[in-house]
Structure 1
Amino acid sequence: MAADNVLNALDVAKTQWYHFTAIVIAGMGFFTDAYDLFCISLVTKLLGRIYYHVDGSSKPGTLPPNVSAAVNGVALCGTLAGQLFFGWLGDKLGRKRVYGLTLMLMVVASIASGLSFGKEPKAVMTTLCFFRFWLGFGIGGDYPLSATIMSEYANKKTRGAFIAAVFAMQGFGILAGGIFAIIMSSIFNAIFKAPTYEVDPIASTVQQADYLWRIILMVGALPAAITYYWRMKMPETARYTALVAKNANQAAKDMSKVMQVEIKPDNVQPVQDSSNSFGLFSKHFARRHGLHLLGTASTWFLLDIAFYSQNLFQKDIFTAVGWIPPAKTMNAIDEVYRIARAQTLIALCSTVPGYWFTVALIDRIGRFAIQLLGFSCMTLFMFALGIPYHHWTLKENRIGFVIMYALTFFFANFGPNSTTFVVPAEIFPARLRSTCHGISAAAGKAGAIIGAFGFLYAAQSQDPAKVDAGYKPGIGVRNSLIVLGIVNFLGLLLTFLVPESKGKSLEEMSRENEEARDETNVVEKDTLNSSLSYV
């Protein structure tokens, strides 16, 4: 069968140094992605203090609701667009040809975000949103390309762990963002020693604080810039070259350069165009993979509603239960420090371990079991936090709330946040793999946008100060947590649409081996008919 020896060699190849190199090269993109997406939540309150303080007010300045929604959510809008565009482009032009472009876009947009300019607050926020949209656009491209590249390099026994390890670098990115914010806010606080807001409202936000948020945003460009050279050195994946570009000989040569696999290029048959190939919008695709795409897209959509709500607005939840002190008891820089410390603790104790539990167990117990477990536990913990919410707001119960809240992060990452990234890179045909992963990821980002914009409204309390600032009374944190519990339960049900891919080759999952057999049968039949006609 055409190119079988190339694909089989990849499936049975022993784990070797290049696999780990590819994990780091692809994973650094996700390190940057997570840093850039989530570091904004560390500085939004600082932006409110700097640009929206009202002289004579008894409260520190806060971002108006529409500005807060835009600053938090615009990068997610860019990410959604980037996932669709680069997912499609990765199948049309090849994974490698567009892989470096996404990284360069992240580098330029990260630096530009920190240089956001304008004489008025509105102008600064507008330019910040503009550059963060393009930052998100680059981040979006990293999702389908990194997942597809890693899946096509890996062998079938450890493929899940390799793809999950790439995604697990997100945890380190979130952790790095928190740690860097802690370090920088400590340095600024030590140098400028600003008083609390209660003591001196004007002096509590020193002029130099404007540099703090800019530095935090711009540092996100460093890991992406460092990784660019090695991304450009990676060869195109053998599966794309063999199955999509139709050049099995080149695929064999490329893999022989970077991996210790026994492939004899001279004996590799060229891949012929398949008369059986079908497009994304064909009835054939709908029959074969329609439910799979619905499953991967819908579960990612529901997961991200909850996951991004928790991540982007955990500072508000911690403030609501009293784990972070009221803003007026701190200066602006100290508030950044307190928020970063809380988020770093959550990342260190629950987010990062959750990712690596998935890496360790995904090829043992399977994707389906991990996703089902994660959604189940997230549902239970959300209900356990939301239904008796007023119990958790009591001072003596706050530590219990934080522990329960941290467990939802653990089971998000040792659960659907990892598996929804892994599975779409395994179950679709090579010529549509990047596109379908991009569609699934974009559905997730649509959920994230709902989480970011919806939770901003929903979690608003009846606090008169917020109403005066332009907020409308929302359904409150308690009901928001209950709604997120329902969302996770729906994700649990839709998990049954997603097939298990543990231990199977990509061609077996996508059924491309059936296409190849059909193609061979067609060729043999045509040859036989020609021979009979000649006779």
Structure 2
Amino acid sequence: MARPHQLNVLATLDRARTQRYHLAAAAIAGTGCLAAAYNQLNLAFLLKLIGRVYYAETATPGKLPDDAAFALFGATYCGTFVGHLAFGLLGDRIGRRRTYGLTLALMAVFSAASGLSFGRTAKAVLATLCFFRFWLCVGVGGSSPLSVTIIAEYANKRTRGIFIAAVHAMEGAGILLAYTVALGVSSVVPEADYLWRAIFVAGAVPAALAFYLRTKLPETARYTALVARDPKRAAADMSLVLCTSIQEQELNVSIGRVDDEWGLFSVQFMKRHGLQLLATTSARFLLGVTYYSQIIILNVLFAKHEWVHHYSPAASMGAVQEVASVAGALALIALCGDIPGYILSVVLIDVLGRRRLLLGGFAVMTLSMLVLATLYDYWTSHAAGFVALYNLAFFFGSVGPRTTTFVAPVELFPARLRCTCHGIAMAAGRAGAVLGIFGFLSKGADRYTSAIGTRNELFVLAGTNFLGMLMSLFIPETRGASLEFIRLVKP
């Protein structure tokens, strides 16, 4: 009788050379990530267009009221938070493939529904939009633990990091797609009310495509063998995928049963995985705080110092033209920072390892914020240098923490809790994002009226990054190890 880590099908997967089915699994999981990123990023255009269309007659024409903006942000982040936890848990209960299909269906249906939001008044339209967007983001949040678990459990141990990082890098493609669609649609759709609806409906296409593609692959062998406890079926599925013959015996139920009885947060679980769960969730939380806070600060500083041409809602520029202008600027920033960072993470993750990228990324982000804070008076008159150094933090964030805190949770925990623990870590990151966004937005631009206030905020971000680097010390290196042995590795 075989122990779980001695099953032929799992050993075959670990040793398999990279072939077509690896690329197919990466394409399926990556398309889901792309759809999720697209449907999150289009909120930037939504806020501008809704304000222009429905609040043109207010005291501040064209500006979306704060309560309406907070409602849309709340629907987005609460839905994503719920999706991370609920579908992470469900993925360990009913299977990766089936649960992934549910998340993609939610994204496809409610992305289209968001574009069809209805109502006789502005508040009615916003109410239906918030409802649809909440369920859209439940699907967005759920796709994260499922997509990464699917590719991790399909990949071989030698190139697993490359494939997981490549799937995560599809978020960068989704970001760029959101800006490209906004640019393209704004060139053919003349009315702002139709423009934001078209941008939303377009988000259903990649989600529907991923939903269809996922039918081409069976359930992952690790779920079937170790969670559903049917290694013969797993061997039969993988024999078809790998075009080879895998002979498997029944799994001895008496072996590994103690491990199966461990509940999440039980004493046994905490002894073996507690520190790893704390480290991965803390690192992701701190990253969420600093990354989204940096975005808010940068936008406010651009407006304050007039480092870029700032278009107010009352300006002569039309809504469609404003969206095209903003989309072009954001696409340029993404091409210079986030996307090169994602690409480099794919290249380096199985060369330098996860831990070095994680620690190095947090270290560079810490140093960048310290230099910006210490020499803030100098940077106020040297905008190009400020933006370049700020962009360096975004670049190394994508190379390091944004990718590696996505990879670590799926590799460190056993198959029966893999989706759940990844969902918890991602939910912690979402909570950090909420703290970063609402904590900074709630004070408004008044926090930045003095150089001292801005400098202090940058020092706080440096400290947050430093704490993230400290928590990363407790995350072990997982490069090149089988998923069934990683949990025995010490940091």
TM (norm. structure 2) is 0.92
The answer for the alignment partner of 1:345 in structure 2 is 332
Q: Is 1:377 aligned with 2:359?
A: no
Q: Give runs of aligned pairs for residues 193-272 of structure 1, distance below 5 A.
A: 208-260=191-243, 263-265=246-248, 268-272=249-253
User: In 2 relative to 1, CA 129–171 (structure 1 residues): closer, same or farther, beyond 3 Å?
Assistant: same
Change (3 A) 1:163 1:377: same
Q: Provide Cα deviations, 1:322-357, integer angstroms capped at 9, x if missing partner.
A: 213232253322221221111101111111110111
Q: Structure 1: which amino acid aligns with 2:18?
A: T
Deviation of 1:227 (Å): 1.8
Task: Name the structure 2 match of 1:151.
Answer: 152
Partner of 1:84: 85
CA contact (8 A) 1:296 1:498 kept: yes
Q: Does the CA-based 8 Å contact 1:113-1:131 persist in structure 2? A: yes
Question: What letter matches 1:125 in structure 2?
Answer: L
Distance 1:381 1:184 in 2: 37
Q: d(CA) in 1 for partners of 2:237 and 2:325?
A: 50
Specify every segment of 5 or more residues in structure 2 that has no aligned partner in the other structure, as ranges: none
| Counterpart in the other structure of 1:410 | 395
Distance in structure 2 (CA, Å) of the matches to 1:175 and 1:160? 23
What's 2:351 paired with?
364
Residue matched to 1:30: 33
Which structure has the bigger radius of gyration?
A: 1
2:458 is the alignment partner of 1:455: no
Deviation for aligned residue 1:214: 1.4
Report SS of the residue matched to 2:350.
helix
Residue 63 of structure 1 aligns to a residue in which SS? coil
Instruction: Structure 1: state its 5+ residue gaps.
Output: 192-207, 465-472, 513-535
TM-superposed deviation, 1:234: 1.7
The correspondence of residues 487-498 of structure 1 with structure 2, limited to 5 A, is 487-498=464-475
- Are the aligned partners of 1:300 and 1:440 in contact in 2 as well (CA < 8 Å)? yes
Q: Does 1:482 align with 2:463?
A: no
Q: Hey, what does 1:530 align to over in structure 2? A: none
Check whether the contact 1:27–1:169 (CA below 8 A) recurs between aligned residues.
Answer: yes
RMSD: 2.3
The match for 1:423 is: 408
Q: Which amino acid aligns with 2:140?
A: I
**Alignment pair present for 1:275 and 2:235:** no
Query: Are the counterparts in 1 of residues 33 and 171 from structure 2 also a CA contact under 8 Å?
Result: yes
What is the rounded CA distance, in whole Å, between the counterparts of 1:100 and 1:317 in structure 2? 42
The structure-2 alpha-carbon separation of the partners of 1:374 and 1:84, relative to structure 1 and needing over 3 Å to count, comes to same
Structure 2 CA distance for partners of 1:176 and 1:311, relative to 1, 3 Å: farther
**CA shift for structure 1 position 417:** 0.5
Contact 2:311 2:322 in 1 (8 A): no
1:62 alignment partner in structure 2 = 63
Displacement of 1:238: 0.7
Q: Post-superposition shift, 1:42?
A: 2.6
Matched-pair contact (CA < 8 Å) for 2:111–2:200: yes
Aligned to 2:162: 161
The partner residue of 1:398 within 383, 393, 400 is: 383
Give the 3 Å change call, closer, same or farther, for CA 391–209 of structure 1 in structure 2.
farther
Q: Distance in 1 between matches of 2:84 and 2:77?
A: 10
Deviations 1:48-70 (A, max 9, x none): 22222346x5x543122232222
Aligned length: 480
Secondary structure of 1:61's match? coil
Residue 45 (structure 2) aligned to one of 42, 46, 49: 42
Contact 1:368 1:498 in 2 (8 A): yes
Tell me the secondary structure at the aligned position of residue 503 of structure 1: coil
Instruction: Determine the structure 2 residue equivalent to 1:438.
Output: 423
One-letter amino acid of the counterpart of residue 412, structure 1: G
Letter in 2 for 1:294: L
Matched with 1:179 is 180
Instruction: Show CA shifts across 1:390-446 (max 9, x none).
Output: 54344xx22223222222221111010000110111110111111111111111111
Contact 1:372 1:415 survives alignment (8 Å)? yes
Residue aligned with 2:56, SS = coil
> What is the Cα deviation at residue 315 of structure 1?
4.6
Q: Is the Cα–Cα contact under 8 Å of residues 242 and 271 in structure 1 kept in the other structure?
A: no
Q: Deviations over 1:168-196 (max 9, x none)?
A: 000000011111212222344xx5xxxxx
**Deviation for aligned residue 1:481:** 3.5
TM-aligned CA distance change 1:297 to 1:463, over 3 Å: closer
**Scaled by the length of structure 1, what TM-score is found?**
0.85
Q: Distance in 1 between matches of 2:428 and 2:244?
A: 37
* Cα offset, 1:33, TM superposition: 0.8
CA contact (8 A) 2:285 2:431 kept: yes
